[in-house]
Structure 1
Amino acid sequence: MSVVAVPGSKSVTARALFLAAAADGTSALRRPLLSDDTDGFAEGLVRLGYRVEREPDVWRITGRPAGPAVPEADVYCRDAATAARFLPALAAAGHGTYRFDASAQMRRRPVAPLTGALRSLGVDLTHEEAEGHLPLTVVAGGLKGGAIELDAGLSSQFLTALLLAGPLMAEGLRIRVTDLVSAPYVEITLAMMRRFGVEVAREGDTFVVPPGGYRATDYPVEPDASTASYFFAAAALSGRGATVEGLGADALQGDLAFVEVLRRMGADVEIGTDATTVTGTGRLSGLTVNMRDISDTMPTLAAIAPFADGPVRIEDVYNTRIKECDRLEACADNLRRQGVEVATGRDWIEIRPGTPAPATIACHGDHRIAMSFSVAALRTPGTVLDDPGCVKKTFPGFHEVFAATRAEWGV
């Protein structure tokens, strides 16, 4: 049994950075994720004039309920979708001109549902090149608020950005949602807003956010459940055991539900009050599973699926096609490179049992593809990643930690 030190949650760290920046006072974020995405988010706050003091285990952010401290800024969001989608909403609550750009990878990903909603709230916003994509410029004059309708079927991040900004609006915000993917991530947002002093009401498909702002707080960041999925999957695949402390029954992150998928496949799973353990039993059963709410773990399951004793069919994951890459096709292509029989549709993938052959895995610059197929390499020696360094986005030390865990297991 190995106790794996998983770094802080990317999702929680990004939300905490926004909330701390918007709050009245100085907040302390404890054990935040140190990665390219969160570094880019924190640097974006600095560019907007917020005071951010960073030590390895605690970041202190001095908030400004009135918005950015500078009248103009140019913010580069790197590959980070959270920065590219949350920071424009934060900036819109201030007064000034703020430009947001990002990497070529992030420029390809949509922001249209968010920017359309901001425009409906009266924000002067311009897409400089392709409509609905970065780069964009926000000419901010504060946010009055009101009632809007939002399609969050491509990403829950659009809804989260608006919810987070709602208390900064003079009249608050009512958001009627017509579709929603990755709903557990919205629950993270609501729980964290509550910790910073704002209670959001829900009336069916409508979220009601009161005005009034946030209060600073001391906030501990729990380990990243999506990252933990690689170690849990590795335990199930290798017949070993992995424990992640700090992720238990009260964890905020919905991606912890991935262990229930592993349980259905035959692994032993124990979820305690402050830790979760997965132990492999030497078998993996095929299954059909809807992963709409935990789609970031889809590649984890897809990579180990050939080792199941029957087909593995993953459904309702269309939104994975607009992540860092088209993850559905990336998984299918890499599995075919390994000689595995795969079929895909608009929002599903089905993987037949097989013995994957060593191959070079095309990571497409996507951290989740790299980490998922690293897990599968436990049973396929000779697997090579064409871009192992892309894990820096969320877990720069992944390969070292994974190698140490393998050594401890003796596999």
Structure 2
Amino acid sequence: MDVIVTPTPNLQGEIGALSSKNYTTRYLLVAALAEGTSTIYYPAHSEDSDAMRRCIRDLGAILQEDDEKIVVTGFGRQPKDVKELDVGNAGAVLRFLMAIASLCPDVTFINRYPDSLGKRPHGDLIDSLTAMGVEIEHNEGKLPIRIKGGKPRGGHIQVSGNISSQFLSALLFLTPLLEEDSEIEVLHDLKSKVVIGQTLEVLEQAGIVIHASEDYMHFKVPGNQSYQAREYTVQGDYPGSAAILAAAAVTNSNVIVHRLMENSKQGERAIVDVLKMMNVPLTHENNIVHVKGNTQLKAVEFDGDHATDAVLAMVAAAVFAEGTSRFYNVENLRYKECDRITDYLAELRKAGAEVEERQAEIIVHGRPEGLPGGVEINAHYDHRVIMALTIVGLRCEQPIRIKDAHHVAKSYPNYFDHLQALGAQVEWVEA
């Protein structure tokens, strides 16, 4: 399905933020790794979190869900012997479960998205697991991946952090269950450190002890630990809400978003600070963000490494700012569902934006008067690109058509419903 975005001068109304995908997938995993029954309140529903639901069920967890909560009876340190796992297009789910699957005798992760997840590299995690005694067959570090595990070893483990922090998170979920104590050393730079903070927060809530250095480059993990069955409440999602807030910022709007914690560990919380820097009238109190868009935006410079999943929305807002904006330290955007620098900027140019790329930077020469639009745009099957291009479409002179916009369901299935509720003119059409 495609979406046609028609210029919309203002947005108005209130919505509740969707629940965090990152926290939901992590809570589901630690609940599955516990022996006993855990309850997760307000879990996210998206393709990614549904992929984690499906896979932990295949591995032996029992799930019961209603409108408010999901109850998970875990399999502990003994996942079921399964032959195949299907993570869909969910990279984080794949990487976390590659580590957990090393406790199984023989599992193959299949490749259902050869043009998206199938192109993403996982070699750094494969190297770490191989060094821990796990036999892995793979396609040059990519799917399909067959893991012959059973008894991974702890000890001194090295993992590269310069492609993704998800490889480190995967090891942090696995190593507490091993017989030996482990010491994890991160090689090179570590991308998205703030997301490691989320992983450590969830592990601590699940009763796991991990000693982390201040810079997150060294970890000591005692072995023979057990995950505890607990109750968890999922907070509102900043990465998805970033697109809603940016859409409000670039239009004459009066928009309120509930359930966004001021003290959240989500790095994408920075969207609030960046929009303030861009001169957007905005308040953030009592877990409520209130945006009054004024279309008089200022350019910004921002280190995007700590807010990876909000950068594309920030860039979309900067397209309409006065002056030149620069988003730097964002090379890891290249290793997502698509190359979120080259591919995204190519589509922005189609709509009339003036943008440049470096290996690790996005430079935006703002056009406060708006863009011509009137084009068909390829979102490269990427949910974040779809959301960001929609923001741009609200300020184009002519409608834009976004191809395959249904892939927004990967993280935010009701994104367009929420925009329509605020008054945005967006319409689903057959491809």
Looking at structure 2, the residues matched to 58 and 252 of structure 1 have their Cα atoms a distance apart, in angstroms, of: 22
CA distance 1:67–1:357, shift in 2 (3 Å) = farther
CA distance 1:407–1:345, shift in 2 (3 Å) = closer
After TM superposition, the structure 1 = structure 2 runs for residues 328-407 of structure 1, keeping only pairs within 5 Å, are: 328-354=341-367, 355-358=370-373, 359-380=375-396, 381-406=398-423
Q: Which residue of 2 aligns with 1:57?
A: 68
- 9-18 vs 234-243, which moves further: 234-243
TM normalised by structure 1 equals 0.94
99, 105, 116: which is aligned to 1:89?
Answer: 99
CA distance 1:155–1:244, shift in 2 (3 Å) = same
Q: Which residue of 2 aligns with 1:233?
A: 246
- Does residue 122 in structure 1 map to residue 133 in structure 2? yes
Looking at structure 2, the residues matched to 95 and 348 of structure 1 have their Cα atoms a distance apart, in angstroms, of: 41
Structure having the higher helix fraction is 1
- Which residue type is aligned with residue 208 of structure 1? K
- Which residue type is aligned with residue 210 of structure 1? P
After TM superposition, the structure 1 = structure 2 runs for residues 41-80 of structure 1, keeping only pairs within 5 Å, are: 41-69=52-80, 71-80=81-90
Displacement, 1:228? 0.5
CA distance 1:203–1:302, shift in 2 (3 Å) = closer
- Which residue type is aligned with residue 273 of structure 2? E
- Does residue 269 in structure 1 map to residue 279 in structure 2? no
Q: Is the 8 A contact 1:248 1:276 kept in 2?
A: no
Q: Is the 8 A contact 2:133 2:151 kept in 1?
A: no
Looking at structure 2, the residues matched to 78 and 108 of structure 1 have their Cα atoms a distance apart, in angstroms, of: 13
- Does residue 196 in structure 1 map to residue 183 in structure 2? no
Q: Which residue of 1 aligns with 2:222?
A: 210
Q: Which residue of 2 aligns with 1:280?
A: 293
Looking at structure 2, the residues matched to 336 and 18 of structure 1 have their Cα atoms a distance apart, in angstroms, of: 40
Displacement, 1:303? 2.0
Displacement, 1:6? 2.1
Cα RMSD of the aligned pairs, angstroms, is: 1.7
Displacement, 1:182? 0.9
Displacement, 1:20? 0.7
Looking at structure 2, the residues matched to 118 and 191 of structure 1 have their Cα atoms a distance apart, in angstroms, of: 23
Q: Is the 8 A contact 2:33 2:74 kept in 1?
A: yes
Looking at structure 2, the residues matched to 389 and 261 of structure 1 have their Cα atoms a distance apart, in angstroms, of: 28
- Which residue type is aligned with residue 85 of structure 1? R
Looking at structure 1, the residues matched to 66 and 117 of structure 2 have their Cα atoms a distance apart, in angstroms, of: 28
Aligned structure 1 segments of 4 or more residues deviating by more than 6 angstroms: none
Q: Is the 8 A contact 2:348 2:389 kept in 1?
A: no
Q: Is the 8 A contact 1:89 1:118 kept in 2?
A: yes
Q: Is the 8 A contact 2:19 2:237 kept in 1?
A: yes
After TM superposition, the structure 1 = structure 2 runs for residues 235-254 of structure 1, keeping only pairs within 5 Å, are: 235-254=248-267
Displacement, 1:273? 4.1
Output one character per residue of 1:131-177: Cα deviation in whole Å (capped at 9) or x when no partner: 21111111122233111121111111111111111211112321111
Displacement, 1:186? 0.5
- The structure, 1 or 2, with the larger RCO (C-alpha pairs under 8 Å, 6+ apart) is 2
Displacement, 1:341? 2.0
- Which residue type is aligned with residue 208 of structure 2? V
- Does residue 2 in structure 1 map to residue 13 in structure 2? yes
- Which residue type is aligned with residue 396 of structure 1? P
Report the 3-state secondary structure (helix = DSSP H, G, I; strand = E; otherwise coil) of the residue aligned with 1:238.
Answer: coil
Displacement, 1:67? 2.5
Q: Is the 8 A contact 1:143 1:170 kept in 2?
A: no
User: Percent of counterpart pairs with the same letter?
Assistant: 30
Structure 2: give runs of 5+ residues left out of the alignment: 1-11, 426-431
Structure 1: give runs of 5+ residues left out of the alignment: none
- 215-224 vs 281-290, which moves further: 281-290
Q: Which residue of 2 aligns with 1:325?
A: 338
Displacement, 1:336? 1.2
- Which residue type is aligned with residue 176 of structure 1? E
